[in-house]
Amino acid sequence: MKLECFRVGMQEGRIVPSAHDRQWMDAFPNPHPYRCLPLAIANSHGWDILCPLSVEVTWNGGPQKEDLTVRALDPQVSNSQLEAVVRSNFSRGIVTFHTGFLFRTEPRWSMLVLGPINRPKMNLYPLTGIIETEWLPYPFTMNWQLLTAGTYIFAKDEPICTVMPLPHNYLSEVEPEIYNLKDDEVLEYEHEMFRRERATLMERKRAGDPEAIKQAWQRHYFLGRFPTGETIEDHVKKLRLRDPADKSGQRPSLARSHPRARPRTAPHRSNTCRRWGRRIPRRRCRCA
């Protein structure tokens, strides 16, 4: 499957695979947070779009667009360069980032756009969107809602959003069903095995069992196995996505065969305007 990323606008945007590590997780005295496999795998889901420059966002708490201002921290950045990246487009403390890319997904695939996963920012909330990038010929923006008045920093190369393709409209085909655990005897037995082994490990640790303390945590889910030792073949313990390949200028043109391609007209052979029938400089004629 291909994900095409077309550069647009003035900014030099970058898109990279989402990183596995997080600063707040590294701050723990041991790698305990990384033992949570659902959390660690989620960190690596999608591709991050990086902020091309360092910006300061200030909101006074008011409801108008003018109540939120942005400023480039690099004095060499011009106003036009700044506005090509970030601005106050709406109101009520919402700051808008231009991603610098127009995405094209394969048919029946859309794009989930959300804040960088498991990367919180104090008093800011990233707004999530789903875009039909299989056809939309226009780039989308990433918006953050400031929750309280104040000044906030987005550093250069800090992720401003994460993008990942997902099947178009697949959730409407999902049929949720609710059962009692006892309705599935096999699942109930497997659940009880996991529960008992976890409870036993915690009891041994509280009792000071050196082997249990050394083991520290139950690894069944992390390793993708049942307490019986049976393993899961397609269990994911590590996720590393591909770096985008720069193929600028190498994409085959579809303009001649595409039904929505821009119509091409033959150039003027004289200085006579074909619509008005009089002489006019070619560069000023708009009838083509």
44: in domain = yes
The predicted structure's pLDDT at residue 126: 97
Please indicate, yes or no, whether residues 35 and 155 belong to a single structural domain of this protein. yes
Q: With 0.85 as the threshold, say if the pTM is over it.
A: no
Please indicate, yes or no, whether residues 19 and 152 belong to a single structural domain of this protein. yes
Please indicate, yes or no, whether residues 57 and 99 belong to a single structural domain of this protein. yes
- Cα distances (angstroms) measured from residue 120 to each of 115, 124, 144, 148, 150: 9, 8, 12, 15, 17
Please indicate, yes or no, whether residues 131 and 207 belong to a single structural domain of this protein. no
The predicted structure's pLDDT at residue 262: 60
Look at residues 119, 154, 173 and tell me which one is the last residue of a structural domain.
173
Does 222 or 56 have the greater pLDDT score? 56
Asked if pLDDT for residue 136 goes beyond 90, the answer is: yes
Please indicate, yes or no, whether residues 184 and 166 belong to a single structural domain of this protein. no
279: in domain = no
**CA 250 to chain CA mean position, Å:** 26
Please indicate, yes or no, whether residues 99 and 19 belong to a single structural domain of this protein. yes
Does 167 or 204 have the greater pLDDT score? 167
Residue 87 has φ and ψ, to the nearest 5°, of -165, 175
Look at residues 113, 146, 173 and tell me which one is the last residue of a structural domain.
173
Asked if pLDDT for residue 253 goes beyond 90, the answer is: no
Please indicate, yes or no, whether residues 119 and 215 belong to a single structural domain of this protein. no
pLDDT band for position 283 (50/70/90)?
A: very low
**CA 48 to chain CA mean position, Å:** 5
In this prediction, residues 27-41 reach a mean pLDDT of: 88
Segments in 163-234 forming alpha helices (H): 185-206, 210-215, 220-223
Compute the distance between CA of residue 123 and CA of residue 133 in angstroms, rounded to an integer. Answer: 30
Please indicate, yes or no, whether residues 77 and 214 belong to a single structural domain of this protein. no
Compute the distance between CA of residue 193 and CA of residue 174 in angstroms, rounded to an integer. Answer: 29
**What is the average pLDDT value for the chain, to the nearest integer?**
87
Please indicate, yes or no, whether residues 148 and 204 belong to a single structural domain of this protein. no
Residue 215's contacts (CB-CB under 8 Å, 6 or more residues apart) are: 201
Look at residues 203, 219, 243 and tell me which one is the last residue of a structural domain.
243
Asked if pLDDT for residue 167 goes beyond 60, the answer is: yes
The predicted structure's pLDDT at residue 109: 96
Asked if pLDDT for residue 195 goes beyond 60, the answer is: yes
Compute the distance between CA of residue 19 and CA of residue 117 in angstroms, rounded to an integer. Answer: 10
For 211, the domain range is 179-243
Answer for the pair 287, 275: CB distance below 8 angstroms, yes or no.
Answer: yes
The total number of structural domains that make up the chain: 2
Enumerate long-range contacts of 193-196, CB under 8 Å, 24 or more apart: 193/226, 193/227, 193/228, 194/220, 194/227
Q: Which residue has the tokens 């919402």?
A: 94
- The partner residues of 59 in beta bridges, in order of sequence, read 68, 150
The residue among 133, 177, 161 whose CA lies nearest residue 45 is 161
Q: Which residue has the tokens 């056809």?
A: 135
Q: Which residue has the tokens 């999608």?
A: 46
Answer for the pair 183, 140: CB distance below 8 angstroms, yes or no.
Answer: no
